[in-house]
Amino acid sequence: MTKQIRFLILFIILGLAGWTWMTNPIRLGLDLQGGSRLILEAKDTEDHKVTEDNVLGVLAVIRNRIDKLGVSEPIIRTKGRNQIVVELPGIKDPDRAIRLIGETALLEFIEAEWAPERVNELSKEEFITLFGTEATVEKFEIKDDNGTITSKRTIILKTTALTGKDLKFAGPNSSQYGDPIVDIEFNAEGAKGFQNVTSRSVGKPLAIVLDGNIISAPNVNEPISGGRAQISGGFSLIEMKDLVIKLNAGALPVPVEIISNKTVGPTLGKNSIEKSKKAGIIGFSLVCVFMLIMYKVPGIVACAALIIYLFLSLTCLKLFQATLTLPGIAGLILTIGMAVDANVIIFERIKEEKRTGQSLASAINQGFSQAFVTILDANITTLMAAGVLFGLGTGSIKGFAFTLSIGILVSMLTAIFVTRLFLESIIKFSLPRKGNLFKA
């Protein structure tokens, strides 16, 4: 392959990298841009004991809710037997995220009727005779479309007719007055059940209960067929959106409790980025100074290849939409030294070839060929270690392993391809006549 073709390939690679750099942002992890880290614990109930399936079910529901919340690159994983760790980088409203994640979102449609006067004066036997053994008395606040409480009434909750499991879809909408409401559609079985319960409840209220709280109790004027209905309750826009998310994602299979809630401020993340930049600049500068002192002109070539290496490594992180964390930056800085290490091996092999009396062009060719096997072996063993870290590690350990792997692969490209191309170009322009490139 001629040098012209190799330069063309290099320019195409750099061009594509530049386009990727401009069109894709680097995603920063929780420790760099701030956010929230929650630890949730699944709890046993009288009806259900926490099992591995329960925990995985909770994890799936939480993931669905967070995906719809629009958090970039959340980390959601199990911890131990009954805990789940949730990391939300860049979250602007942690309280909302906590409410969205931790609430059960159990939606119930309960047959009901308005309580008669002096219901509290009824004996237990009289109450059971009138309303049944499962009936309970609840206070219900009636709100207007703005969410203002206009009155309070007492309602008798009787039998749960439908739950959120019978829903097919929930979506945001607005009333004729522009107030947020939720459109719901039942599945086939739920539509049939909804028609039956509205037929039995004509002239009576049908209580809509979310997580034990009555959010609405409209009077049923006629049987409702078709499996469609609306939920209103003086919601704010955010409350309406969150309700839609929770209903579509499903209810948590078991209750969860947030046992740890840590918020990382963006200021701390900014300080970490600034310190990482300083560490990277110092490390890069020291490596370049060492190469310039040891190898002069070839050292300049190695530094130029190192700049390309950094550019391509960061581009790969953008291309793969990887989340850059503080350990990831450490892995990237580490690979700066590893990247130039390949150049040191190559340059020393070239010196050895020159000692045998070969020309500079021949020594460069032999040096790269002989050094390639050594570089390949060393990098493959490091890649294997990084693969183990990525496979068995979690969270930030995966970030370190990923950036380390990217750095190793890109360093091989720049050390073997870019450095050789630059050295051969220097020979072509007869720069070696002004001095010996590699002193034996």
Looking at residues 11-32, what average pLDDT do you find?
Answer: 79
What distance in Å separates the CA atoms of residue 155 and residue 36, rounded to the nearest whole number? Answer: 40
The pLDDT of residue 102 is above 70: no
Phi, then psi, of 104 in degrees rounded to 5 = -70, -35
Residue 112, both tokens: 């009901």
How many other β-carbons are positioned within 10 Å of the β-carbon of residue 376? 13
Give the architecture-level CATH label for domain 3-30+265-434.
Up-down Bundle (1.20)
Residue 342, both tokens: 């390949």
User: To 5 degrees, how large is the angle CA 68–CA 70–CA 75?
Assistant: 95
Phi, then psi, of 117 in degrees rounded to 5 = -60, 150
Rounded to the nearest integer, the mean pLDDT of the chain is 80
Domain ranges of the chain: 3-30+265-434, 35-103+259-264, 107-233
User: Where residue 432 falls among pLDDT bands split at 50, 70, 90?
Assistant: very low
User: What are the tens digits of pLDDT across the range 353-388?
Assistant: 888 878 788 888 888 888 888 888 888 888 898 888
Helix, strand or coil for residue 20? Answer: helix
pLDDT at 434: 43
User: What are the tens digits of pLDDT across the range 172-207?
Assistant: 888 877 888 888 888 888 899 999 999 998 888 888
Among 131-145, 213-227, 341-355, 359-373, which stretch is predicted with the lowest mean pLDDT?
131-145
pLDDT at 266: 62
State the residue for tokens 């994890």.
59
What distance in Å separates the CA atoms of residue 210 and residue 104, rounded to the nearest whole number? Answer: 9
Most trustworthy range by pLDDT among 109-123, 142-156, 207-221, 223-237:
109-123
Residue pair 402/390 in contact (Cβ under 8 Å)? The answer is: yes
What distance in Å separates the CA atoms of residue 157 and residue 134, rounded to the nearest whole number? Answer: 8
Among 44-58, 94-108, 305-319, which stretch is predicted with the lowest mean pLDDT?
94-108
Q: What percent of the chain has pLDDT over 70?
A: 88
pLDDT at 289: 92
Distance from chain centroid for Cα 52? 23
234 or 207: whose pLDDT is higher?
Answer: 207
Q: What percent of the chain has pLDDT over 90?
A: 3
User: To 5 degrees, how large is the angle CA 253–CA 258–CA 263?
Assistant: 135
The pLDDT of residue 440 is above 60: no
The pLDDT of residue 163 is above 70: yes
The pLDDT of residue 72 is above 70: no
CATH number given to 107-233: 3.30.1360.200
268 or 239: whose pLDDT is higher?
Answer: 239
What distance in Å separates the CA atoms of residue 183 and residue 80, rounded to the nearest whole number? Answer: 39
Is 35-103+259-264 in the same CATH topology as 3-30+265-434? Answer: no
Looking at residues 220-246, what average pLDDT do you find?
Answer: 80
The pLDDT of residue 410 is above 50: yes
Looking at residues 245-251, what average pLDDT do you find?
Answer: 69
Q: CA torsion sign, 202 to 203 to 204 to 209?
A: positive
What distance in Å separates the CA atoms of residue 238 and residue 138, rounded to the nearest whole number? Answer: 27
CATH number given to 35-103+259-264: 3.30.70.3400
User: What are the tens digits of pLDDT across the range 305-333?
Assistant: 989 988 888 888 888 877 777 888 888 88
